Amino acid sequence: GAVVSQHPSRVICKSGTSVKIECRSLDFQATTMFWYRQFPKQSLMLMATSNEGSKATYEQGVEKDKFLINHASLTLSTLTVTSAHPEDSSFYICSAYRDRGPETQYFGPGTRLLVL
């Protein structure tokens, strides 16, 4: 099966600092990755689509200068939460797109961010 990892799994940071989250597809190449966030007891909300070698596409209402996405290789996308604030505390999940079968998006295990 397709494996996607995320690092770190949990991070606690002070307000005003920046945090980088990595998403890696371990056994396949992904030209497209997706970043989601999930608040407690709520749905997964798509934040942005990360495209290898080009700019990310952000969903409406997501600040691109706040959530910097870099997809520098076919197996790695990073999400940097800049100048984090307590309201950015959430569960961030990435997925990697693979055009094989109906599943197509393979999810990472998620990263819990807590901003103090």
Partner 1 sequence: DQQVKQNSPSLSVQEGRISILNCDYTNSMFDYFLWYKKYPAEGPTFLISISSIKDKNEDGRFTVFLNKSAKHLSLHIVPSQPGDSAVYFCAARGDYKLSFGAGTTVTVRA
- Chain residues that interact with partner 1, rule: CB under 8 A: 4, 6, 32, 34, 41-46, 49, 91, 93, 95, 97, 102-110, 112
Q: Which two tokens stand for residue 96?
A: 């990697």
Q: Which helix (H) or strand (E) holds 4?
A: strand 4-7
Of residues 115, 116, 114, the one with CA closest to residue 10: 114
Shortest Å, Cβ 82 to partner 1 = 24
* 37 vs 75, beta carbon nearer partner 1: 37
Shortest Å, Cβ 94 to partner 1 = 8
Are 113 and 15 within 8 A, CB to CB?
no
Shortest Å, Cβ 26 to partner 1 = 14
* 83 vs 90, beta carbon nearer partner 1: 90
Of residues 61, 70, 64, the one with CA closest to residue 94: 70
